[in-house]
A and B are shown apart, each in its own frame.
Chain A
Amino acid sequence: MITPRSWLPTPLLSILLLIVWLLLVRSLSLGHILLGATLGVAIPLLTRRFWDDQPMVRKPWLLLRFMFRVLIDIIIANLLVSWIIINPWRRSRPAFIEYPLTLEHSFPITLLANTISLTPGTVSANLRMDGRTLLIHALDVDDEKALVEEIRERYEQPLKEIYEC
């Protein structure tokens, strides 16, 4: 087992921060590379205590497919919610739904909760203390069982494959 170096606990995050910094300032001068590198080392060190240890991404290409699917779902979500907003004769049927989680790690659960908040008519409202149930508020839902099944099939299964195998 490789122990992470104490001054560079998360090399990938540091590189990502450096790239984001260079993109933000739109410059490749030495000064900005140095400043970006300093930030890339300093920020992970300062925020390390807030991070859980993250599970490895096992299948990055599945993650790309998942992101693409979520992007399309966001567009559909917008159309649906817009329709509910502008149609004055439509009585929406809101509901709170308990969603039993099968994911284990907190990072995939966070991703799932964020995905749910971004997609059709649902906002994740609360994670129960035991970390096994997600409380979801849905704007307009017919059949709670069907919604739970849909979330499990469309989002939770892919995330499970990506992170936990």
Chain B
Amino acid sequence: MNIPTWLDALIAAMLLIGAIVATLGSLGLARMPDFYMRLHGPTKASTLGVGCTMLGSLLYFSTSGEGIRVQEVLITVFLFVTAPVSAHVMAWAALHRRVHCSANTRHPPWPEMDRAPVTEHAASSAPAGDKESAD
């Protein structure tokens, strides 16, 4: 159980980067305007976030005297194989249900998707008179 300082710093940096990237991914999930854009946050940031965390864990447990550990590598590999598949399936399901995309999306697959998604927030915050004149 004798870890040199530089290795300690490296492990800490890996864990920190992993945590930051995972936070950014979740932030993207919360902040993006439509479903298709929200898909990008978790598939990207979580793969690198989890990857960095795993690398930190791998370094720590490999140097703390229990021999080389490889489960972390396996977890990362499984994640990298499955994350794009789940993103693909969710995007496919959204297309199938014709979930609206935001108005500035170019080339929507169907013309009726080409309009701003009416969120409850936008509907309730719009003045009543404005709404009627728009109709």
* B53 at the binding interface (Cβ < 8 Å): no
Nearest Cβ distance between residue B69 and chain A, in whole angstroms?
8
Q: B48, A93: Cβ atoms under 8 Å?
A: no
User: A92 on the interface (CB 8 Å rule)?
Assistant: yes
Report which of B71, B80, B92, B107 forms a contact with A26, defined as CB distance below 8 A.
B71
Q: Is the CB of A91 within 8 A of B92?
A: no
A84 to B28, CA, bound (A): 9
Which of B39, B69, B74 lies in contact with A123, CB distance below 8 A? Answer: B39
Chain B residue nearest to A86 (CB atoms) is B24
- A42–B88 alpha-carbon span in the complex (Å): 29
Say yes or no: is A37 at the interface (Cβ < 8 Å to chain B): no
Stretch at the interface among B4-12, B98-106, B116-124: B98-106
Contact residues of A between 42 and 86, Cβ < 8 Å to B: 74-75, 77-78, 81-82, 84-86
Q: Is A129 an interface residue (CB 8 A)?
A: no
Q: Which residues of A contact B105 (CB under 8 A)?
A: 94-96
Residue of A nearest to B69 (CB): A26
Find out whether the CB atom of A23 lies under 8 angstroms from the CB atom of B70.
Answer: yes
Report the separation of the CA atoms of residues A26 and B31 in the bound assembly, to the nearest whole angstrom: 42
**CB pair B107 A96 closer than 8 Å:** yes
Closest partner residue, chain B, to A124 (CB atom): B88
A96 — which chain B residues lie within 8 A by C-beta? 101, 105-109
Chain A 131-142: CB-based contact to B (< 8 A → 1; otherwise 0)? 000010101000
Let me know if A118 and B45 touch, CB within 8 A: no
Q: Let me know if B84 and A113 touch, CB within 8 A.
A: yes
A82 in contact with B24 (CB, 8 Å): yes
Please give, as numbers and ranges, the residues of chain B lying within 8 Å of A114 by CB-CB distance.
Answer: 81, 84-85, 88
CA of A144 to CA of B106 in the docked complex: distance in angstroms? 10
Cβ–Cβ contact B106 & A93, under 8 A: yes
Residues of A within 8 A of B24 (CB): 82, 85-86
Interface centre among B84, B94, B109 (most CB of A within 10 A): B84
Interface residue? B87 (CB, 8 A): yes
In angstroms, Cα B75 to Cα A135, docked, is: 29
Give the residue name and chain of the B residue nearest to A98 (CB). B107
Q: Give the residues from 108 to 140 in chain A that come closer than 8 angstroms, CB to CB, to chain B.
A: 113-118, 121, 123-126, 135, 137, 139
Which of A's residues lie within 8 Å of B, judged by CB? 20, 23-24, 26, 74-75, 77-78, 81-82, 84-86, 91-98, 113-118, 121, 123-126, 135, 137, 139, 144
Given A93-B104, A123-B39, A135-B109, 5 more A-B residue pairs with CB atoms under 8 Å apart are A78-B48, A81-B40, A82-B28, A94-B102, A123-B84
Q: List 22 A-B contacts (CB under 8 A).
A: A23-B71, A26-B71, A74-B48, A78-B21, A82-B21, A85-B31, A85-B32, A94-B106, A96-B101, A96-B107, A98-B107, A117-B83, A118-B84, A123-B36, A123-B43, A124-B84, A124-B91, A125-B88, A125-B91, A125-B94, A126-B92, A144-B107
